[in-house]
Amino acid sequence: MTEAFPAHTVETAPDEVRPALQAMQQRMGFIPSIAAKLAEAPPLLMGYRALEPFFEKTSLNPTERLVIYLVASYRHNCDFCMTAHSWAARQQGIDENTVAALREGRSLTDPKLEALRTFVIAMLEKRGAVSDGDKQAFVNAGYSHRQALEVILGLALKTMTNYTNALARTPPNPEFGDAIWQRR
C-alpha cells in the first residue's frame, strides 16, 4: 500500500513543486518535512509559499510573528510547527525565555507580547468573532487595528500547516535537534 501522504523528495515531487523543494534543500541543507508533505498537493505548497512572504512584510516584528505562530501551533498541538518555529527563533536570536514560555503554553512577562498572545488565543477560540473587550485590550497594549488584521494572515498560514501536519502526521526533522517539541 502506498502512503496516503508521502514525504516527497526533489525526485518524487510533482514537477511544478520540484524547484521549490530544491531551493529549500539548498537554503537549509534539508527539506522540512512539512514541505515534503505539502508537495503532494502542489497548489497548497505554492499557496503557502506565496502567502508566507507577505506575513514577513507586516508591521509585526519577528518576535510578534513568532508569538502568533507558536500560540496557534501550541493550541493545535502541532509537533512539527512548534519544533520548526522554536528552531527558527534560535536562528534569529529571539529571546529564549519567550520561546520557552510559548513552548509550555505559559503567559509572557512582556505585557505587550502577552496581550498579543491573549488576542491570538481569543481569535482561535472564538474563530475570529472576538469581543469588543478583546479588541480593546489588544489596542490598549499598543497594537493597531491593522495589526489585528495582520494576525489573521499568520493564523491562515498556521491553519494551512497545522492542519496538514495533523492530517498527514508530519514528523519533525531530526535536523531541528534539541528544538524538537512534543506536548507533555
Which cell numbers in the block locate residue 21? 523543494
> For position 86, what pLDDT does the model report?
97
pLDDT (tens digit, 9 = 90+) per residue, 66-119? Answer: 999 999 999 999 999 999 999 999 999 999 999 999 999 999 999 999 999 999
Tell me the helix, strand and coil percentages in the chain, rounded to 5: 70, 0, 30
Q: Is residue 27 part of a domain?
A: no
User: For residue 3, is pLDDT > 90?
Assistant: no
Q: Is residue 43 part of a domain?
A: no
Instruction: Read off the CATH number of the domain in which 78 is found.
Output: 1.20.1290.10
Nearest to 79 by CA among 156, 9, 166: 166
Torsion sign, CA atoms 36, 38, 43, 48: negative
Secondary structure class of 82 (helix, strand, coil)? helix
User: Residue type for 139, please?
Assistant: V
Average pLDDT over residues 43-58: 97
Q: Is residue 125 part of a domain?
A: yes
> For position 184, what pLDDT does the model report?
62
Task: Compute the radius of gyration of the chain from its Cα atoms.
Answer: 17
Average pLDDT over residues 39-57: 97
Residue 33 pLDDT grade (very low, low, confident, very high; cuts 50, 70, 90)? very high
What b/e sequence results for 47-72 when a residue is b if at least 16 CB atoms lie within 10 Å of its CB, and e otherwise? ebeeeeeebeebebeebbbbbbbbbb
Q: Is residue 66 part of a domain?
A: yes
The domain in which residue 157 lies consists of 60-179
The DSSP-derived string for 100-112 is: HHHHTTPPPSSHH
User: For residue 1, is pLDDT > 70?
Assistant: no
Q: What angle do CA 110, 113, 117 make, to 5 degrees?
A: 125
Q: Which residues contact 43 (CB under 8 A, 6 or more apart)?
A: none
* Nearest-angstrom CA–CA distance, 63 and 77: 20
CB atoms within 10 A of CB 114: 16
Nearest to 157 by CA among 74, 76, 62, 52: 52
> For position 135, what pLDDT does the model report?
98
Q: Is residue 21 part of a domain?
A: no
> For position 2, what pLDDT does the model report?
59
Domain count within the chain? 1
Q: Is residue 6 part of a domain?
A: no
> For position 147, what pLDDT does the model report?
98
Q: Is residue 33 part of a domain?
A: no
pLDDT (tens digit, 9 = 90+) per residue, 6-24? Answer: 999 999 999 999 999 999 9
pLDDT (tens digit, 9 = 90+) per residue, 116-174? Answer: 999 999 999 999 999 999 999 999 999 999 999 999 999 999 999 999 999 999 999 99
Q: Is residue 116 part of a domain?
A: yes
